């Protein structure tokens, strides 16, 4: 709460609330309990992107605001879901390899963490030439585009599950083949970055257990993330 006032909502109140648009825009709001909102203030709020909630019962005002925050967070999570990579370590089930080359389809056990659709996978112990930056880099398989558990599509599975995943590589990853470039002796790991970890902290903190965050810390070392 940045300010508390008594009486109608004026344009200056909207200007004060608009400061939050530069920091956390979902909190650029005014809660008006049993007071009037001037036309000038409402027009300014519409122009600036400030939300004004009004109600004659305090509990209704609270409910409107909390639902708004919940909806805003869910919208934000949906927007950045592809970039917020969850930590996971997968182990290939060798007798359940169905397609060896792009798209790669195989059975895996989730050894650690959370496996979800959209996760980019790498093989840390297999290095290939890095034509863009020179030197070498970890073998990249592509992104998980679908997960099936017991024949049913699912978006997310956790440690201990055994599932079938479909991994789609882009044009530079399409050459990778199971049995030639990697096999069941190598674990598959989600590719984390500094940016993806920050997105997890900001938007999915409660979705990860303590052990998942411990895995993030270990993977930071694997990917040399400061």
Asked if 165 contacts 146 with a C-beta cutoff of 8 angstroms, the reply is: yes
The string of pLDDT tens digits covering residues 60-119 is: 999 999 998 888 888 877 777 778 899 999 999 999 999 999 999 999 999 999 999 999
Higher pLDDT, 186 or 56: 186
pLDDT at 2: 63
Return the structure tokens found at 204: 């999915």
Q: What's the CA gap between 222 and 191, in Å, rounded?
A: 10
Higher pLDDT, 96 or 1: 96
pLDDT at 76: 78
pLDDT at 179: 95
pLDDT at 41: 92
Is the pLDDT at 42 greater than 70? The verdict is: yes
Report how far apart, in Å, the C-alpha atoms of 166 and of each of 117, 170, 171, 191, 218 are.
9, 13, 16, 16, 26
pLDDT at 169: 95
The sign of the CA dihedral 175, 126, 165, 156 is: negative
Does the reported pTM lie above 0.85?
Answer: no
pLDDT at 156: 95
What phi and psi values does residue 194 have, to the nearest 5 degrees? -60, -40
The string of pLDDT tens digits covering residues 138-190 is: 999 999 999 999 999 999 999 999 999 999 999 999 999 999 999 999 999 99
Average pLDDT of the segment spanning 32-45:
91
pLDDT at 185: 96
Q: 1: pLDDT confidence band, cut at 50, 70 and 90? A: low
Residue 39, H or E segment? helix 39-48
The string of pLDDT tens digits covering residues 187-218 is: 999 999 999 999 999 889 989 999 999 999 99
Is the pLDDT at 5 greater than 80? The verdict is: no
The average confidence (pLDDT) of the chain is 92
């Amino acid at each position: 709460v940045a300010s508390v006032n008594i009486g109608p909502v004026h344009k200056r109140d909207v200007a004060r609330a608009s400061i939050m648009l530069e920091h956390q825009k979902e909190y650029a709001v005014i809660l008006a309990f049993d007071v009037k909102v001037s036309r000038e203030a409402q027009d300014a709020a519409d122009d600036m992107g400030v939300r004004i909630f009004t109600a004659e019962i305090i509990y209704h005002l609270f409910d409107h605001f909390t639902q708004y925050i919940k909806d805003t967070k869910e919208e934000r999570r949906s927007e950045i879901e592809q970039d917020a990579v969850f930590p996971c370590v997968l182990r290939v089930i060798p007798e359940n390899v169905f397609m060896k080359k792009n798209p790669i389809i195989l059975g895996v056990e989730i050894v650690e963490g959370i496996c979800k659709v959209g996760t980019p996978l790498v093989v840390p112990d297999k290095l290939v030439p890095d034509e863009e930056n020179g030197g070498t880099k970890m073998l990249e398989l592509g992104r998980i585009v679908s997960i099936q558990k017991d024949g049913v599509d699912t978006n997310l599975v956790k440690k201990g599950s055994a599932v079938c995943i479909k991994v789609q590589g882009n044009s530079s990853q399409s050459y990778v083949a199971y049995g030639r470039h990697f096999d069941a002796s190598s674990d598959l790991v989600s590719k984390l970055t500094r940016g993806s970890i920050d997105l997890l902290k900001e938007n999915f903190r409660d979705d990860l257990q303590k052990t998942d965050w411990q895995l993030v810390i270990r993977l930071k070392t694997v990917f040399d993330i400061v």
